[in-house]
Amino acid sequence: MKVLVVGRGGREHAICKKLAESPLVKGLYCAPGNAGISQDAELVAIDEMDFDGLTSFALKQGIDLTVVGPENPLSEGIVDHFQEQGLKVYGPNKAAAILEGSKSFSKMMMEKYQIPTARYQAFESYEDAKAYIEEQGAPIVLKADGLAAGKGVTVAMTMEEALSSLEDMMLDKKFGEASSKVVVEEFLEGEEYSLMAFVNGENVYPMEAAQDHKRAFDGDEGPNTGGMGAYSPIPHISQEVIDQSVREILQPIAKGMCEEGRPFTGIIFAGLMLTKAGPKTIEFNARFGDPETQVVLPRLKTDLAQVLLDVLKGEDPQLEWKDESILGVVLAAKGYPETYEKGHAINGLDQAEQTSVLHAGTYLNEEQILCANGGRVLLINGKGDSIQEAQAAAYDQMKAVDTEHFFYRKDIGSRAIARAFSSNA
Ligand code: AMP
Ligand code: GLY
């Protein structure tokens, strides 16, 4: 089988690596990919949003299955485009991808299908939003309605922060059209975790859970990012809580999408908070998470290509997982998620085990030197029998990387480790 992966980040690198292991996959292509992905798949220089270019390539090459990574092409209907050409593709169509593309749609769904989430209201008027925020008080959470690369959320601990973020979004149009509508919601307190599932209509096949680290700096300080590191499994989230999350959140949303006439095929990603009142939904995404995928997929024992084919056929893929811990640390450009420079060489990476390096924003310059061209540059995975071992293995490799132009968090997984010690004591 020939498989095409669409995207260029760490998530797509993890998907390509897993597909490259499959005996079913005879040809693996990635459009447009990055320098790391070129080790596992043949790069195709077509942009994710060039749907005609991608379908022509797929038809010409005889691609048997296409897997779409990022949210933008999904939201714009890449899946519909492939299907119109009779091409098999794994991902939600445009009607279903709205689950991620509009926060107000996804909040409406949670309300309608009684899926636990934070109380909220959506606003298109700055004055109304301001009045509501003043009435509710801080802490409070503001979200740009549309896609904003994981950065359109402000968790405001003070009223001042809330109002200044509202101004940025609604008056100064910080996220363009994506923030002309704003969702304001209740602040949830608890332990955050991410749960992804392979979905086809009402059928939901959950993966192992992972924990992301969204803030830029150690101790969960600084602005929200696309994710600075992750690990899986999460020792302090019990199987019972995971099962409850599948039952009360993932299954009802999949069923709800069918009832709305928007049946979902692809990956549903639930960003969840374990509150005192049980699991609550923070967000849904219509795709594999980044960086969660980089630590979850390497743990999958089952052949990923076979899994995707089974799910598309409506069959149970019988997922099996390795009993190991994986922890990934993201190397980012200094300044990310605000302004940062591109083009700096990434030195010291040769000491890392290449199979555990997942590239995000990298390219080879004319002298074949690996350089950065994104905010999140790459992720290094460590493996072990516990999160602690995996953490040590990841940082051991990261420490050889020259950080003149880059930075990484030093505390990925530390909360899990601290908890393990306090509960053993
Ligand atoms: P989102 O893009 O919706 O996942 O939000 C980004 C991050 O903001 C989440 O991962 C949470 O850490 C935080 N967040 C979002 N919504 C809430 C909420 N209602 N209460 C507390 N934290 C939140
Ligand atoms: N890690 C969260 C996301 O992929 O949106």
CA dist 41 and 3 (Å) reads: 10
- pLDDT at position 178: 67
Strands (E), 337-425: 357-359, 362-364, 370-372, 376-384, 406-407
Atom of ligand 1 nearest to the CA of 186: 19
- State if residue 229 touches ligand 2 by the CB under 6 angstroms criterion: no
CA dist 380 and 394 (Å) reads: 6
Question: Is the predicted pLDDT of residue 363 greater than 90, yes or no?
Answer: yes
Peptide bond into 337 cis (omega under 30): yes
d(CA 62, ligand 2 centre) in Å: 32
Residues 6+ apart with CB under 8 A from 190: 273, 274, 275, 276, 280
Q: Which domains does the chain have, with CATH numbers?
A: 2-94 (3.40.50.20), 125-180 (3.30.1490.20), 191-312 (3.30.470.20), 325-424 (3.90.600.10)
- For the segment 30-52, the average pLDDT, to the nearest whole number, is 97
- Judged by its nearest atom, the ligand closest to the C-alpha of residue 185 is 1
- State if residue 283 touches ligand 1 by the CB under 6 angstroms criterion: yes
Residue whose Cα lies nearest atom 10 of ligand 1: it is 214
User: CB 335: neighbour CB atoms within 10 A?
Assistant: 13
CA dist 91 and 71 (Å) reads: 10
Atom of ligand 1 nearest to the CA of 152: 2
- State if residue 387 touches ligand 1 by the CB under 6 angstroms criterion: no
Residue whose Cα lies nearest atom 15 of ligand 1: it is 282
Phi, psi of 15 (to 5 degrees): -65, -45
Alpha-carbon torsion (225, 272, 236, 390), positive or negative: negative
Longest dimension (CA), the chain: 62
Q: Please, what's the b/e burial string for 100-126 (b: 16 or more CB within 10 A of its CB; e: otherwise)?
A: bbbbbbbbebbeebebbbbebebbeee
Residues 6+ apart with CB under 8 A from 359: 10, 13, 34, 35, 36, 37, 377, 378
Mean pLDDT of the chain: 94
- Judged by its nearest atom, the ligand closest to the C-alpha of residue 192 is 1
d(CA 193, ligand 2 centre) in Å: 11
Residue whose Cα lies nearest atom 3 of ligand 2: it is 289
For a ligand 1 pocket test, name from 71, 121, 282, 284 the mutation site with the most ligand atoms within 8 angstroms of its C-beta. 282
- Grade residue 353 by pLDDT with cuts at 50, 70 and 90: confident
d(CA 273, ligand 1 centre) in Å: 9
d(CA 152, ligand 1 centre) in Å: 10
- For the segment 134-154, the average pLDDT, to the nearest whole number, is 83
Render pLDDT for 111-129 as a digit per residue (tens, 0 to 9): 999 999 999 988 998 999 9
Q: How many helices (H) and strands (E) does the chain have?
A: 14, 23
Atom of ligand 1 nearest to the CA of 214: 10
- State if residue 227 touches ligand 2 by the CB under 6 angstroms criterion: yes
Render pLDDT for 219-262 as a digit per residue (tens, 0 to 9): 999 988 889 999 999 999 999 999 999 999 999 999 999 999 99
- For the segment 374-386, the average pLDDT, to the nearest whole number, is 96
- pLDDT at position 112: 97
Question: Is the predicted pLDDT of residue 424 greater than 60, yes or no?
Answer: no
For a ligand 1 pocket test, name from 153, 161, 292 the mutation site with the most ligand atoms within 8 angstroms of its C-beta. 153
The pTM is what? 0.93
- State if residue 155 touches ligand 1 by the CB under 6 angstroms criterion: yes
- State if residue 292 touches ligand 2 by the CB under 6 angstroms criterion: yes
Which of 163-177, 215-229, 276-290, 392-406 comes out lowest in average pLDDT? 163-177
Question: What residues form DSSP beta bridges with 31?
Answer: 6
- For the segment 56-81, the average pLDDT, to the nearest whole number, is 98
Question: Is the predicted pLDDT of residue 14 greater than 90, yes or no?
Answer: yes
Match 């696309």 to its residue by tokens: 226
Atom of ligand 2 nearest to the CA of 290: 4
CA angle 104, 110, 114 (to 5 degrees): 150
- Grade residue 425 by pLDDT with cuts at 50, 70 and 90: very low
Residue whose Cα lies nearest atom 4 of ligand 2: it is 289
Phi, psi of 346 (to 5 degrees): -100, 105
Joined together, the tokens standing for residue 91 give 């991902």
Question: Is the predicted pLDDT of residue 179 greater than 80, yes or no?
Answer: no
d(CA 420, ligand 1 centre) in Å: 25
- pLDDT at position 243: 98
Joined together, the tokens standing for residue 89 give 């593709």
- pLDDT at position 148: 66
Residue whose Cα lies nearest atom 5 of ligand 2: it is 289
